[in-house]
A = this chain, B = another copy of it.
Amino acid sequence: MKENLPALVTLLAVLLMFGTAFAVGRARGRYQVHAPATSGHPAFERAFRVQMNTLEAALLFLPTLWLAAHYGFAFWAGIAGLVWLAARTWYALAYLQEAARRGGGFVLGMTAWAATLLMALTGLGRALLAG
């Protein structure tokens, strides 16, 4: 079943999104930022940005992952997905500490996404040429 690795990556990405949402909820309590406010303490704001940026990144990554998988790159897109997961976890943990430390994980995550995008474009281009 060639889709098992992309499926595993997708479930782990969902759990990563859940983890970043959980961190926001905990920061709401710890820093007394009551809903619906989304500002008021720098540590809360970092947690909130981590959640939103993780969600934005997943919206770029997951559709690309599945298109790459559909067009013949299920294994390599899955490997890129594991790299992406590691990068985005690094990004989240570093950014929660300090905004300035978010660069490395961000760049690695974008690189893994770009690799998957290249696979999807290659596969789709081949399919379009084959008619």
Count of chain copies? 3
Closest to A5 in B: B128
A64 / chain B contacts, CB cutoff of 8 Å? 11, 14
What is the minimal beta-carbon distance from A58 to any residue of chain B, in angstroms?
7
Question: Distance (Å) between the CB of A44 and the closest chain B CB?
Answer: 9
In the complex the two chains form, is A102's CB within 8 Å of B11's CB?
no
Q: A36-B49, A48-B36, A102-B35 are in contact. Are A124 and B11 (CB under 8 A)?
A: yes
Q: How far is the CA of A78 from the CA of B103 in the complex (A)?
A: 36
In the bound complex, how far is the Cα of B46 from the Cα of A116, in angstroms?
Answer: 30
Determine if A21 is an interface residue (Cβ-Cβ < 8 Å): yes
Chain A positions 107 through 130: 1 when the CB is less than 8 Å from some CB of chain B, otherwise 0 = 000000000010011001001100
